Amino acid sequence: MNEQPIDITHSDEPAVDRRSFLKIAGIAVGALTVAELGGIGLAYLHPRTAEGDFGSVITAGAVDDFPPGSVTHVTNGRFYLTRFDDGGFLALHQRCTHLGCTVPWDQATEQFVCPCHNSQFDDAGSVLNPPAPRPLDRFAVTIDAGMVLIDTSSAIARDDFDGSQVVYA
């Protein structure tokens, strides 16, 4: 800048002169445009609601369809329904918490054994063998008029298995 700037502001004028007002306004409008377009883009790309069965509330069956001490694969809901010996229910997401493979239930050893990197889980989804970093996620179970309902809209991550996760008829 020059040594002697030409003073175009007068003392009684507001602190923001015309030039810097336009500059600030320009930046603000530009930022707004970017934010708007970015927001629209992200909203547009936001996950479509899962079509089909998975993602909704699924009726697994009547309470008595599941004998105590059993694990049942409900494939359209992507979960296993465990019924413990004491009659309590727990719905486990079939997706391995390590890297997402589907864990098959092995009735002989009573374990879930992941084919991808060999993680093992028990019938409550607790980790018996890493690399899985946490137990299998669960879905909320409700029992209504003798029917077992599983809400698959969101998988619930947990650090440990505890009794409060089990639902009784």
Q: Binding other proteins by CB under 8 A: which of 58, 60, 78, 148?
A: 78
Indicate the helix (H) or strand (E) that contains 143.
strand 138-144
Residue 43, φ and ψ in degrees, nearest 5: -65, -40
129 DSSP β-pair partners: 120
By CB under 6 A, residue 169 contacts ligand FES: no
- Choice between 95 and 158, CB closer to ligand FES: 95
Candidate segments 33-41, 72-80, 111-119, 158-166, binder of ligand FES by CB under 6 A: 111-119
- Omega within 30 of 0 (cis) for the link into 131: yes
Candidate segments 4-12, 29-37, 64-72, 130-138, binder of other proteins by CB under 8 A: 130-138
CB of 102 to other proteins, least distance (A): 5
* Two structure tokens written together for 61: 């069956």
- Choice between 63 and 140, CB closer to other proteins: 140
Strand 138-144 and strand 127-129: pairing? unpaired
Q: Binding other proteins by CB under 8 A: which of 59, 133, 160, 169?
A: 133
Query: What string of DSSP letters covers 17-66?
Result: -HHHHHHHHHHHHHHHHHHHHHHHHHHHHS-PPPPSSBTBEEEEEEGGGS
* CB 77 within 8 Å of CB 61: no
Candidate segments 9-17, 114-122, 138-146, 150-158, binder of ligand FES by CB under 6 A: 114-122
Name the residues that contact ligand FES, by CB under 6 A. Answer: 96, 98-101, 114, 116-119, 131-132
Name the residues that contact other proteins, by CB under 8 A. Answer: 42, 45-51, 54-55, 73, 75, 78, 94-95, 98-104, 113-118, 130-131, 133, 155
